[in-house]
Amino acid sequence: MVSRKKEWYMTNAAAIVASAQSFPLAETGAPTDIDIREDFPLRNFKVENKSGVSITLLLDPVGATSKIKFTIPNGQTLTSDPNDNFTFSNVAIINDGAIDMAIGTLTVNVRNY
């Protein structure tokens, strides 16, 4: 049960290799184990893709797939609609490009409200 409004901001601290998966909730600034236990599931996200490649955002990924996924073109931002009726506990990013995504070019914000 979500007991309070919480928000987390993560930026990739390492390059994301072409075709590789990245897990923003493992980056610096991500939720702690206590946060996960007390403040999940998540309800909204904002992903800023400032890189030169297209990415795929997966909600609650299983391997390299998910029931809910979004493609975010290079230089674009995707924000969920607060009226969307879905919850998630994890996110993954797949670099769809042929080049590495540089450090600091992907910012992910998640919140539980």
φ, ψ dihedrals at 30, nearest 5°? -75, 170
Which of 62, 82, 80, 64 has its CA nearest to residue 72?
A: 80
Domain spans in the chain, listed from the N-terminal domain onward: 7-111
Amino acid 20: pLDDT: 95
User: Helix, strand or coil for residue 25?
Assistant: helix
Query: d(Cα 35, Cα 25) in Å, to the nearest integer?
Result: 11
At 62-111, the pLDDT tens digits run: 988 999 999 999 999 999 998 988 899 999 999 999 999 999 999 999 99
Kindly tell me if the per-residue pLDDT of 1 is higher than 70: no
Say if CB 49 and CB 22 are below 8 A apart.
no
CA distance 77 to 51: 11
The top-level CATH class assigned to 7-111 is mainly beta
The CA-based dihedral angle spanning residues 64, 16, 29, 23, taken in that order and rounded to the nearest 10 degrees: 10
